[in-house]
Amino acid sequence: MDTPDSDGPDSATSAGPQPRPQSLMLAFFGNHVLEEGDGDLCVYSGSIIDVLGRVGVGEQAVRSTLTRMVNRGLLRRQREGRKMYFGLTPQATRVLRDGRVRIWQQGAVNDDWDGTWTLLGFSLPDSWKRQRHDLRSRLTWSGFGALYSGLWIAPGQVDIAGEVTELGLAEHLKIFHAQANVATDIELMIRDTWDLERIAARYVTFDKRWTALLGSGGGSGDDPIGTRLRLVSEWLWTIRTDPRLPARHLPPEWPARPAEETFRRLAELTAAPARRAAGDLLDTVRPRHPVWGGTLESGPTADGGHEVELRLPTRSE
């Protein structure tokens, strides 16, 4: 399972981050499929094109992203007549549920740290560049930083075993839980391991941008579904590389707290309007349960596209 942003970083400008189409797509499915339909919905491609167009993603980019996410096992296709619908796979559902925990349950500020650290050591062959990239992406998303080149550390007891097993690297890793000796300067270790200035800058940028929008009365505006999509995408971008370091070992007035308060105010403000807009805009169907076997079929779709689907046999075939 790839992390939501393991393809590479989103870009950032003075106006804030510019999320990649896949980041926006995951936020869309998280908002309107996982949250509203508990993951048990498929959305018409034309509806997805409409919604992502509201945040500046063109039709061709949407189609390319849908195809790429199907190929990566994050989305599945389902044809209904001449329309093509897209739903979540179990893999994508795990990604989005993890993101939901990060946003709504853990939060951005770690006031409850018990002094425990998780240490992960690994040694991979030099030729395993892809595996090394995937592992580092997964570790970063899970809150780890590189203490040394092959030794990574994260605050708290991080359950990373399932993640590395999924990558097929369990035999190449060693995982420990430990506490620092009193001689260890934890603040210095944190500064050496994580780029605190960069993490803080993300929170400051988010807070300034969205506080200004809130103050101007544009918290929901004429396009609540687009506003909420940008809000959640940018918040995920903001927290993506934040390991939730213990608050008592961070600089005073750490900007994560006010930024999270701004996010939660806007999330509450946009929730109901975005839900109503989605009810009006989105063409959805319930997924059919797949069975083994099938053939590839292709054909035009109602919105002018051309899709290839896996046709699954019915019980009577």
Q: How many angstroms separate the Cα of 144 from the Cα of each of 7, 119, 129, 203?
A: 18, 9, 19, 19
**Considering only CA atoms, which of 113, 118, 245, 120 is closest in space to residue 177?**
118
In this model, does residue 7 exceed pLDDT 60? no
pTM: 0.78
Task: Give the CATH number of domain 11-93+283-311; options: 1.10.10.10, 3.30.450.90, 3.30.70.360, 3.40.50.720.
Answer: 1.10.10.10
Res. 161 pLDDT band, cuts 50 70 90: confident
Query: 116-179 belongs to which CATH class?
Result: alpha beta
Residue ranges, comma separated, of all CATH 3.30.70 domains in the chain are 116-179
Residue range 240-255: average pLDDT?
92
Res. 300 pLDDT band, cuts 50 70 90: very low
Please count the CA atoms within 13 angstroms of the CA of 293 that sit on its side-chain side. Answer: 4
Residue ranges, comma separated, of all CATH 1.10.10.10 domains in the chain are 11-93+283-311
The residue to which tokens 């240490």 are assigned:
119
